[in-house]
Structure formats: C-alpha cells, structure tokens
Amino acid sequence: MSTYKFPDKNTEVSTQYKDSSALFNQLLNTRGLKSAEEIESFLNPDYDTQLHAPELMNDMSAACERVEAAMANGERIAIFSDYDCDGIPGAVVLHDFFKAIKYDNFQNYIPHRHFEGFGLSNAALDSLKKDGVTLAITIDCGTSNVSEVAYAKELGIDIIVTDHHEPEEVLPAAVAIVNPKLGGYPFTELCGSGTVFKFVQAMLNRNDYELPKGKEKWWLDMVGVATIADMVPLQGENRVFAHYGLQVLRKSRRPGLQQLLKKAKADQRYLTEDDIGFTIGPRINAASRMDTPEDAFFMLAETDLVKAGERVEHLEKLNTERKTMVALMTKDLHKRMKTLEEIPSVIVTGNPDWRPSLVGLAANKLAEEYNRPVFLWGKDGNDVYKGSCRSGGGASVVKLMQAAKDSFLEQGGHHGAGGFSVKDEHIFTFGEELVKAMNDLGDEAIVNEEISIDAEISLSDINQLLLKQLKQLSPFGVGNPKPLFAFVNVSPVSVELFGKTKEHTKMLFDSENGKVEAITFFQTPADYTFVPAEGVPCTMVGYVEQSFFMGRMQTRVRVLDIVPSK
C-alpha cells in the first residue's frame, strides 16, 4: 500500500546554499545535502577529482599483471560478460580498450539467457578451451562461481573476475577478483560496467599504449548506460559516471546507437536518464530475452555503418516481437482470469511454453490490474521451471516466498518484485502454498510504502528557474529520486484519454503562466486514488519534466497519483 507523506511546513530547512531559492534548498535538504562541500561535490561532478584511484580496488595489480603477461605472450583472451544491460555495455568497454591498444587476439562470450543462465558454466568453459583461450575476464558475474573457476583451472584457463555482486563466504580461486565490495574500496556501489572501467583506468595508468590522454572518456557512454539501467545508487562515483556518461552519449559516434535512437525518435542531443530506461535499456535487454545477447553487443560495438544498421533493424524486430509476446501472454492470462469463479488472493499460473525472461513484464500488468501479488512461470532451455513475481495491493512477494520456501529451488528479490525457480514436484501446488501463506500472514504480508513528497508547489512555480534547478540535481535514479511535488487544490480544465487504445491520461490545468499539461502513461482516471473530473478540486502528485518531442521541448507534469483535495 502506498501512502503519501507531505512535507511538514514547520520543519526548518537547515540547508542554505549560496543564493539559492528556498525550494532549491529544500530539495537539497531532502537529499541529505547540507554542507557547502557536499553540495558542491553533488552539483558539480568532476571526473578528475571525484573518482577514486582504481589501484585501491581488490586484486587490481594482480589483474593488470596477468593481462599484461597474456598480451606479451600473445595469449587468447576471452571477455565473458553477463547478458543484461550492465554486462553487455561493460563488454563493449573492454572490447573497445583492446581494439584501441591494437591487441586483437581476444573474443567476446556472452552466455545465452534461456539455455545457459547467469554466470560461468562448465559448458561455456569447454567452448572457450576449444577456441584456445587461456585467460578469461568476467564482467558483471563470477564472484559466486567457485566450482566453475576450479574447473577452468583444470582446463588450463586462468580467470580474472570483475564483478560487483555480493561476495559469499567462499570466493573462487581466481587469479584476481576485482570487486568494489572486497578489500575496503572507498565506494562499494559500482555496477559491473563501472568496475571493468576502473580496470581499464588501472591498465592505462600503468601504460598509455600511445593512446591520446583521456581516450577512455569516450567509453563512458557505455558506463553511463549501465550505471543508470542497472539501478545502482546515483551517488559518489556512480553520479560522476552517470553525469559524464550522458554527456558522452549525447555526442557518441557509435553508428548503432545513433541509428537506434533515430529509429526510436529520440533526439541524441537531448538524451536523459529516462531515454536509457525506456529506449536504450529495453532494446539491449530484448536481445537476451528473445534471441542471442550478441545482437545487442555488436549493435553497440560495431563501427561499420551498414552492419550497425542491420543490427539495429534486428533489435527493433526483437523488441516488437517481445511486446507482441507479452501482449499475447497477457491476453491469455485475462482469458484464464475470466474462467475463475473467484480470483485468489495470490494469482499463480504459467505455461511451459512461456519464456521465463518475459513473464515479469506480464506479471507487472496483472498485479496492477488485480491489485494483488502475481507469480508467473515458464520453462527455460534446461527444463527448469522459472518465473517472476510482482507485488500488488501492498503484499511483499519476499515474505510470501519465504513462508512457502519448501516449494522453491531458488527465490529472491525485494518486496515489490522477485524471481524464483520451482521444484518439479511443486509446480502445480506451489500456488496453493502461496495462497495459504497470504492467508496465514494476514496483515504481516503487507508492507506499507510511504512515499515522501519533496515540496508543495503551485502550478505557476513551473518556470525556467525550477527547470534549471532540476537539471542541476539530475541525473535521477536510485539514491537520487526525481523531486516529487504536490499541487494542492487544483482543478483540471479537461481530462481526456489518448493513445491507440486510449490507455493513457492527459489533463490540462490553468496557471498564471498559461496552460499546464499533466500526463500518465498506461493509467486511466479510474486508476488514481481519486478520480479527476473537469472543474473538481483535487491534489495532483507528480514530477515536473521536460521532454524533447516532435522537434520541440515540452514542459509537463508526469502524474504519479491524484488524491482528494486537502
């Protein structure tokens, strides 16, 4: 359940930054930024002064020395990355580094999501052995692959792990484990691409390989994409990577990226973190969800204009197929729901023909629609029942899975969303176990999520000054959420639906500065806490945003909810 915490008007704002407005100081304050030094560092990310020395990271020297030895001996190196929107951009970074220093005896390997799953596997190592690989560098995986690294050693393949996942008690016997969560590195929250970028920095600190100074900054476009898409906290080094990553993205010369953005009607010059979340990220992930992840890798790494264009066309096709498959899945689910006399407190269903990589998208829609937890499953390429779950109605999917843990091979996530695999013998009964868990837990299953509103402002406060201040606070994401505003006692002059199937809502409001547009995608007025109507006072909760669309910059409110007027 979501409730809104309105700002206490009697609370003193302790932040006083230069000649800033009271609202800007309030926004800094809600982000925990109080000292002038903290604020300066936050508002002005600096590549040269705010990044920690890469040599401080665990096993960095050992990793660099082994790669240098491999290059000196002409060994074949494999870049082994995860298949998601962190591993693939990281693979591009290391690929581009080797290409730039003219070391060509390497290859990229990305496991197939459906048939191989996450991380190193013995089958993948056998394949690398056949290719003559003697050194493999992992990206965004490997920290938990104890037995696989031991097997690699038997095959005569050395492993360097670069990863950011939580280390377990027993670590693999790799040549080096470069992970910000090991060895006391000053910033532990890097993503996989950020970690491998630190490795590249360390290599260039030891030898510039006759590259122009700062050459590595051109690869920050990939680090920025991964940092934002992987939803790591946008603080510390990550804020620097996201800030500069977006700057480089807006100028990136990658032909695949340029053509992908053109196809999606996104103007490269004005890219924001939202474009990564809604345009670039889904297309990179579509490759592994629908086909082979290499499709996304080559789209980003390819320098030939025609070949890159072919990759973009293929990714667009896959992304369209993904949407179609999810739509068909959702249609099938709606049919199933109609056959039920009573909708259970936890919706659990699946199909062996469904791809586990797609069910989360359908589960999300169903959970919102029926306002209760949804668990959907499919079958992967190794005949394992896997699925995704989404919360609805405030129930924690983690609490439910823990209460029915005997049914699962693996389960994890957070209160709102999770993933699981089910023991074969429980595939047709674990739904009953989850319903029982929901009934037994009762109110204990509910997690009350309180959403804090940064400030109450008027519609006339939406002006150039506010937009400039919001730009200073961006990029937004985990650890630095978009400022959430409440517009109290406002009355829409119109409420209408738009889109092909009228699934989106648009409202117009009058203000001193003219008409203000407010929109929500994939929500109709009935989905809000309070149904808005023309001329009826309400309180609108939402974000102020700028969007470059159809050749012009638009300012609007992205509505989170409409609640009764205070």
Tens digit of pLDDT for each residue in 466-491? 999 999 999 999 999 999 999 999 99
Strand, coil or helix: 548: strand
Residues 427 and 468 in one domain: no
Which region, left, alpha or beta, applies to residue 455 given φ > 0 means left and ψ of -120 to 50 means alpha?
beta
Report the pLDDT averaged over residues 355-383: 91
168/58 same-domain check? yes
Beta bridge partners of 228: none
Residue 331 placed within a domain:
no
Q: Considering its fold, how many domains does the chain have in total?
A: 4
The percentage of the chain sitting over the pLDDT mark of 90, rounded to a whole number, equals: 77
Per-residue pLDDT averaged across 310-330, rounded? Answer: 91
Residue 49 lies in a domain: no
pLDDT of residue 379: 92
Same structural domain, 121 and 163: yes
Residues 6+ apart with CB under 8 A from 546: 467, 553, 554, 555
Looking at the structure, tell me whether residues 144 and 101 fall in a common domain: yes
Same domain, 7 and 156: no
- Predicted local distance difference test score (pLDDT) of residue 510: 95
462 in a domain, yes or no?
Answer: yes
> Using CA atoms, how far apart are residues 292 and 287, in angstroms rounded to an integer?
6
Residue 554 lies in a domain: yes
Q: For 422-438, what is the mean pLDDT?
A: 94
Tell me: pLDDT of 1 over 70: no
In this structure, of 116-125, 193-202, 254-263, 550-559, the range with the lowest mean pLDDT score is 550-559
Instruction: Kindly state whether residues 151 and 182 are assigned to the same domain.
Output: yes
Q: Which residue is associated with the tokens 């979340």?
A: 277
Residue 2: the pLDDT is 66
Torsion sign across C-alpha atoms 414, 196, 163, 33: negative
The domain boundary, picked from 215, 249, 283, lies at 249
- Are 168 and 182 spatial neighbours (Cβ–Cβ below 8 Å)? no
Q: Which DSSP category does 279 fall into? A: I
Question: What does residue 534 show for φ and ψ, rounded to 5 degrees?
Answer: -55, 125
Residues 256, 176 share a domain: no
pLDDT beyond 90 at 305: yes
| One domain for residues 125 and 274 | no
For residue 203, what pLDDT is reported?
98
In a domain, 27, yes or no: no
Q: Residue 550 — pLDDT band, cuts 50, 70, 90?
A: low
Which of these three, 401, 431, 449, is where a domain ends?
A: 449
CATH of the domain at 162: 3.90.1640.30
33 lies in a domain?
no
Q: For the domain that residue 464 is a member of, what is the CATH number?
A: 2.40.50.460
Residues 349 and 312 in one domain: no
**pTM across the whole model:** 0.90
DSSP secondary structure letters along 293-353: THHHHHHHH---HHHHHHHHHHHHHHHHHHHHHHHHHHHHHHHHHHH-SS--SSEEEE-TT
Region 104-130: mean pLDDT is 93
Choose the final residue of a domain: 432, 449, 466.
449
Q: The domain containing residue 207 runs over which residues?
A: 54-249
Q: pLDDT higher for 261 or 551?
A: 261
Identify whether residues 194 and 290 lie together within a single domain: no
